[in-house]
Amino acid sequence: MLTKKYAIQQTEENWIDWFLANGEKSFRGKQVLEWFYIKQTFNPEHFTNLPKQIREKLQNDFDWGLPIIDTILPSSDESEKILLKLHDGLFAECVLMPSENRVTLCVSSQVGCRMACTFCQTGKMGLTRNLTTGEILTQVVIANKRLIERNILNRSVTNIVFMGMGEPLDNYDNVVGACKALIDPKLFGLSKHKVTVSTSGLLPQIEQLGKDLPVALAISLHTADNEQRSQMMPINKKYSLEQMKQVLLNYPVQTRHGITFEYVMIQGVNDSLQHAKKLVKFLHGLKAKVNLIPMNPHPGAANMVATDFEQMRIFQKYLADRSIPAPVRYSRGQDVSAACGQLAAKRKDEINLPPRTVALARRREYLAEKVKQ
C-alpha cells in the first residue's frame, strides 16, 4: 500500500508542483498555506476558494493529520512546555511564554541535536531527525490555539525564537522555509525583527542566512576563550572564534541592538573578570547585545551551577561600562524543565531523569509504535 504524504509537511514549492501537475494555477499553493496558517484549517473540505474536485483530490492524495499534543506542563510563571507527538511517533517540544506586552514561543527545529554542547540536555540526546517546515510551523499554530484555550484573548504569538531542541542552521532549508512563512504578511505576518534564529556557530550557514533572510541573529557563545569554547561546544573545533568574528563583521545586521550573544553563566567556569575581558575583546567592532543567562540545573549536568548574583553583577557591570548592553535573562519554565538548555522531550514524571534515560524511553515507545503499524 502506498503511504500518503503528510499535508503539513509540504512546502509552498511542493504545493505549487502538485497543483501544476493537476492542471491548476500555481497561486493555489499559497491558498492552501493561507488555510493552514491564517485560518488554521487543516481539512480540505473547507477550502472553499478551491474547486470541489480539487478539494476531493487533495483529501485523497494527502494525509491531513496534525502533530498531537502529548503533554502540557504549565509552569508557576505562566509559561508552559508543550510536548508534541509527531506523525512518526517522535516528540518535539516548544515553550509558550506569554507576558504583558508580547507572547514569545521558543520553537524546536530538530528532534534532539548533534552539537553535543556540554551544558545542554538536548545535546546529550543526539540527533534523531530534522523537523520539516510544516512541523516547525505547526508549533506556532498549536501555541496560538493554546492562547485561545487559556482565555488569553486577542493574543497570538508575537515573537519566535529558534532556541528549542536542535541547531536551527543544521536544518537550514526547513528553518528558512519556516521563517519565510513567519514573516510573510499573507501568512503569519510577524515582524522580521521578532523572529530570531539562534545558532551555536555554523559559519557557512550564517553567511548564507545573511543573504537569504532578514531575521534577527543570536549566537550561543558562552565563552570567548577558544580552548574553553571547544570543550563546552565541540562545533568550535571546526569553526574558531576568530573565524566566527570575521563572518559576523560582514553579517547584514537587521536589528537596532545588532547581534545577540547568549552567555550561560556557570559558576567557576566562564564567569570571572578574565572571561569578561576576553568577551569584550571578542565583541570589539561588533554591534552586540549579550544576554547573561544563569545556568539552569538539570540531571545531565549535576556539577554545573549558576553563577551567584554578586558575580553576575560584576560581570554585567564590566560589560556595561564598556557600552555593551548585558541584561540578565532568567529562563522561564524552570520548574517544568522548559528553561534554556533543559529541553529533552520529557513528561512530567521524567523531569528529574537524565536526558539519555528519557531519550531511550522515547526511542522504545517509537519502536513499539512502529511494530504496531
CA-CA distance, 85 to 20, in Å (whole number)? 32
Q: Indicate whether 167 belongs to the interface with ligand SF4 (CB under 6 A).
A: yes
CA distance 219 to 216: 10
- CB proximity list for 55: less than 8 A, separation 6 or greater: 44, 45, 47
Which one of residues 115, 176, 182, 244 is an interface residue with ligand SF4 (CB under 6 A)? Answer: 115
Q: CA-to-CA distance for 320 and 54, rounded, in angstroms?
A: 60
Cα end-to-end distance, the chain, whole Å:
13
* 122 lies in the binding site for ligand SF4 (CB under 6 A): yes
Interface residue with ligand SF4, options 67, 123, 299, 355 (CB under 6 A)? 123
Residue 205 binding ligand SF4, by CB under 6 A: no
Q: Which of the stretches 57-65, 87-95, 160-168, 185-193 binds ligand SF4 when contact is defined by CB under 6 A?
A: 160-168
Tell me the three state secondary structure of residue 24.
coil
Which residue has its beta carbon closest to ligand SF4? Answer: 123
**At how many degrees (to 10) do helices 203-212 and 172-183 cross?**
30
220 is a site residue for ligand SF4 (CB under 6 A): yes
Catalytic residue among 12, 167, 340, 350: 340
Q: Do the strands 195-199 and 159-162 form a parallel or antiparallel pair, or are they unpaired? A: parallel
Q: Round to whole Å and give the CA distance between 260 and 327.
A: 11
C-beta closer to ligand SF4: residue 83 or 115: 115
Residues 200, 270, 334, 337: which binds ligand SF4 (CB under 6 A)?
Answer: 200
- Pick one of 98, 166, 177, 258: the residue that binds ligand SF4 (CB under 6 A): 166
Judged by CB, which is closer to ligand SF4: 120, or 353? 120
Spatial separation of the C-alpha atoms in residues 19 and 119, rounded to whole Å: 46
117 binds ligand SF4 per the rule CB under 6 A? yes
164/147 Cα distance (integer angstroms)? 19
Choose the catalytic residue: 93, 135, 167, 350: 93
Pairing of strands 126-130, 110-113: antiparallel
120 a catalytic residue? no
Q: Measured from the CB of residue 68, what is the shortest distance to ligand SF4 in angstroms?
A: 23
Q: Total residues at the site for ligand SF4 (CB under 6 A)?
A: 12
Told to check if 293 binds ligand SF4 by CB under 6 A, we report: no
* 369 labelled catalytic: no
Residues with catalytic roles: 93, 340
Instruction: Give the residues lining the site for ligand SF4 (CB under 6 A).
Output: 113, 115-117, 120, 122-123, 165-167, 200, 220
